[in-house]
A and B are shown apart, each in its own frame.
Chain A
Amino acid sequence: MVKITVDGKVLEVDESKNLLEEILSQGEDLPYFCWHPSMGSVGSCRQCAVIEYANDEDERGRLNMACMTAPREGARYSIEKAAKFRAQAIESIMINHPHDCPVCEEGGECHLQDMTVMSGHNYRRYDGKKKTHTNQYLGPFIGHEMNRCITCYRCVRFYKDYAGGTDFGPQASHDNTYFGRWQEGPLESEFSGNLAEVCPTGVFTDKPFSKHYVRKWDLQTAPSLCAGCSVGCNTNPGERYGTLRRVVNRFNDEVNGYFLCDRGRFGTGYVNSDERITVSMTRSAHDAAPHLASTDEARSQLQAMAANSIGIGSPRASLEANFALRELVGAENFYAGISTNELAMSRQILDIYRSRPVNIANIKDIEASDAVLILGEDVTNTAARLALALRQSVRNLGKKMARDMKFPEWQDAAIRQLTMDRKSPLYILSAHATRLDDIAARVKIGTAANSARLGFAIAHEIDSSAPAVNGLSADEKELVTTIASALKEASQPLIISGTGAMSQALIAAAANIATALNGADKKANLALVSAEANSMGLALLMESSDNSLDQAMASNAKAAIVLENDLYRRAPASSVDSFINGLDQLAVLDSLKTRTGEQANLVLAAGTFAETSGTFVNYEVRAQHYYSVFKPVDTIRSSAFWLSDKKLSELTQGCADSISGGAGIATLTPGEGFSVSGMKVPRQQHRYSGRTAMRANINVHEPKQEQDEEGILTYSMEGVSALKDATVFNTAWAGGWNSNQSVFKFQSHTGAALKQATKGHCLVENSVSEKTWSEVTDAEKVTGDFEVFPLYHLFGSEELTANTEAIKAKATSAYIAINEADASKLGLQASDGVSVEHNGAVPYIIRSSIAPGTVGIPVGLKGLNFRDLPAAISLQKATDWATPSEWHAANIIVSDKTSVNAENGGEA
């Protein structure tokens, strides 16, 4: 820390940070554009100018960019004295900027508006002709209005430098500077949506939001979570007129920082979809005519059948809903709703986190890791936000080089120049090329069983007390020693694996490596990706039970209550069919219509994440609370409501009490008594418009505000929104700072944790020091022509988000991926389809990375159910084949050499 004087005020600041972030951290206002807390400084916009004085006598000083200045002990600075320069700088930036705030979607939450006002450039003097540009079509997610650009370069620095995208960039120079693609077309990066938040103006906008746009202040918002995968990114979704309009990032330094992936940002349109179940229905038998069930009727029917029912839970339903179902049917009748293997894997992860001397890695840990091994998890498609963090981890070598040369970490461009393409080591063992291969030191293709074998060998190489593997080839030995020594040498190694490859051996191998790395003064980082938003929550409820879906289906039950789960996505269709046929009564609680729901004789309309509150437990076993954003129509209720008479908070408490180490679950909200200035926190901003008019076409009387069952937030404008207090952070807004940039006002230090808000609660407190090992398991011999491995699609593999229009536009129907030699062995011509043993025919693509004799099958895409397939299958050229209408090969974003026939749906 050093002492500096800013306009006469003495401040104590961190000299390793730049002056801009230090000034902001002190609560002062200093305008900026190009600097970003996660991306560092480049000094390009000239907006953060301050005067720096050489010594006490110096009265003139010199102009410096605060973001490019390291605070010096005893130095004097002035923000005020540079005000004129900043006003001129913004005036020149604004010369070509259109006067279109009223029709610009950034308006009202625009950093450029805020900074212009703050800099005091109130009237335009330039009346010449403005430079205009042509906009591009950038795909279904992002709109483009180049005329609004102020050439701050943040977009490129995010898209290319930070997120590793290659299909976007700056073009031309001076007045012609342009940010776009070299040819129009959909942006390929899985993180493109962040452009809408990173760009300080309205150049890049959220396109699905544009279709039903409202101003930020007209949105009803709440602190929520992304339900898209097991990362559990924190979000602020916004609603108006009963429809969910958009999702923006909510800062949580340990889970998602400033960024979301595109599944999370653009994947919630299903909440508004026609496929929603909006009323509860009942019928006396499978083939009887259904009729509407009132709330009371539906609830009492469910209660009536509960006594003789089994309950099937779900990894996509809240902890409370699963718990309520378990209470309702009794623990012995409660089944996990996932296959035996999947349940075993989630429990295995819990066990590893609890019993091994490892550090469970959050994104900060991942970003700080200086050697990484990824074991069989396609992170970009199964836990995308982590892939973005991994891209930062390989920069640690460069940061170290910078430290050694004594220049600060925030010098972004300089460090990139210094580093060139040197990277900290990252190794990938996978069945196919992945989207992180470009930053990998080595990629080894192999089946999960083989990757596990190598993983066990690496563990043994690091610590010889770990079980050994026999029969490695010379090449394999070389790889094993290379990876082992890189991990050993690293000061913070990280092992990533997960349930994606569906292999317990792989997870065990990852655990052994992380254990082996444990040393006197270091613990390895370990991140085990789980399958869904609440997979770990479900595992916590199943800790002393082996009840899987397979067992439920073998239970001879006559009645079943299925919670937010389409069993046809979880098990072979034939087994589900016979299970359902054997039931006398089937109740399904869900938000969307499913094949399982269609066969039920009682369907209960359940709310989505946006309409309900609850707890999800993420891949780190971090419990996080999400608040309902809005009240749905009265016939839609939360699953927890349908299943239990208890209040949500009582159910949460019940979870906390019954889960071992679960006490933290009950601490995730400030509780019913919480108030700001004696009032509850309103979901609607004080500027929320049209409240008395918005329903006037129905009734001129304003209805009573909806009641909130949790009693923390209200569905109204009344009350004091938490402007200086982020305990319940429902929108980022501070005086003079209308955009998301205002978040620094709530942080303990610019870029660091929020002052009050909970980061969630990690339910595993690991203080293990003793090493234990998993045994090397011999791979089961797989018989069949082609060994099957799963492929994941960020857009399409997740059940709920796949029902969103924007996601559909980026998805495709099912296909198989094989190697070229195998394709020609099968005699496949360009436009052929492939018959998959007993499962109809699908298109195919050739991928150079895929090993001969193996076939990649996407999980969750329409047209082929992964769970219907055995471990190995035979393939044949399809006869009588027509390309499915939802086949869009161009939406398959991969990084190995791939070919697909144009007629085979290769349109853009």
Chain B
Amino acid sequence: MNNLIASTAIKARQLTEEEIHEIEHEKTHYPYTQAVGLEALKIVQKYQGWVSDESLLAVSEYLDIAPDELEGVATFFNMIFRRPVGKNVILLCDSVACWMLGCDNLKEHISNTLGVDYGETTKDGLFTLIPVPCLGACDKAPVMMVGRETYTHLSTNKIDQIIAHIRDESPVELDN
């Protein structure tokens, strides 16, 4: 019983052909379009870097899922970004094993180096720093991911190298 006289000023953007193509492909995997909501958000994020209100509405209209429903999905999963992020998202583990091995210091170090706190993006748009709970590599703690790459046995030195590397090679092609 969705009201169709929309009272919001936000307008859906046009989905791109690639996005539509991939969403259509996902649809073939599920009996209900509702189930495709999360995949569609991931597809949009893959192409746009994040899920804007306009993108969320576009998916909502395309799949006929209420925007409130999609928002619930989008905000439940912390890897769906509802705010713009930098080119490289640093996911620093702050769970038990990593915490015991000093991830707090690493966080300090990254923050000082990049000038960003958790949830923030560097001015040059290169990095966003986000905490994650356990990356499943506790035996190699402390751990972080940048893009799809996992970096283990971290130290401040190692972090400097990774950052420098990414900056040099920028944009680092991370095969997402």
Q: Which residues of A contact B (CB under 8 A)?
A: 164-173, 176, 178, 181-183, 185-186, 188-189, 420-421, 435-438, 845, 889-890, 892-898, 900, 906, 908
Contacts and interface: CB of A to CB of B under 8 A. Distances in A.
B76 A172 contact: yes
Given A181-B68, A183-B8, A167 B76 contact: no
Contacts of B147: none
A176 to B, nearest CB: 8
A165 B67 CA distance: 12
A894 B5 contact: yes
26 contacts: A166-B66, A167-B3, A169-B66, A170-B72, A171-B71, A171-B72, A171-B75, A171-B76, A172-B75, A173-B75, A173-B76, A182-B67, A188-B1, A188-B3, A420-B32, A889-B5, A890-B5, A890-B7, A893-B3, A894-B5, A895-B1, A895-B2, A895-B3, A897-B4, A900-B5, A908-B8
Given A183-B53, A895-B4, A900-B5, 15 more contacts: A167-B3, A168-B68, A169-B66, A171-B75, A171-B76, A181-B68, A182-B71, A186-B7, A188-B1, A189-B1, A437-B1, A890-B7, A893-B3, A898-B4, A908-B7
B174 interface: no
Contact of B1 (A186, A435, A892, A897): A435
Interchain residue pairs A-B with the least CB separation, the first 3: A182-B71, A166-B66, A908-B7
B85 to A, nearest CB: 17
Contacts of B75: 171-173, 176, 178
B55 to A, nearest CB: 13
A169 B69 contact: yes
Nearest to A438: B1
Interface string B161-175: 000000000000000
Contacts of A183: 8, 10, 53, 67
Contacts of A165: 1
Contacts of A890: 5, 7
A906 B5 contact: yes
B149 to A, nearest CB: 26
Interface of B: 1-5, 7-8, 10, 32, 53, 56, 66-72, 75-76, 78
A435 B4 CA distance: 11
B59 to A, nearest CB: 12
A136 B53 CA distance: 17
B71 A169 contact: yes
Contact of B5 (A168, A172, A893): A893
**Max count, chain A CB within 10 A of own CB: residue among B1, B68, B72:** B1
**Max count, chain A CB within 10 A of own CB: residue among B4, B53, B67, B76:** B4
A137 to B, nearest CB: 11
B58 to A, nearest CB: 14
Nearest to A893: B3
A898 B7 CA distance: 12
Contact of A182 (B1, B3, B68, B76): B68
Contacts of B3: 167, 188, 893-895
Nearest to A139: B7
A282 B25 CA distance: 77
A435 B71 CA distance: 23
A421 B8 contact: no
A455 B92 CA distance: 66
Given A182-B71, A435-B1, A167 B8 contact: no
B72 A896 contact: no
Contacts of B66: 166-167, 169
A407 B32 CA distance: 25
Contacts of A895: 1-4
**Max count, chain B CB within 10 A of own CB: residue among A164, A436, A889, A894:** A894
Contact of A185 (B1, B7, B69, B78): B7
Nearest to B9: A908
B122 to A, nearest CB: 24
Given A172-B76, A436-B1, A166 B7 contact: no
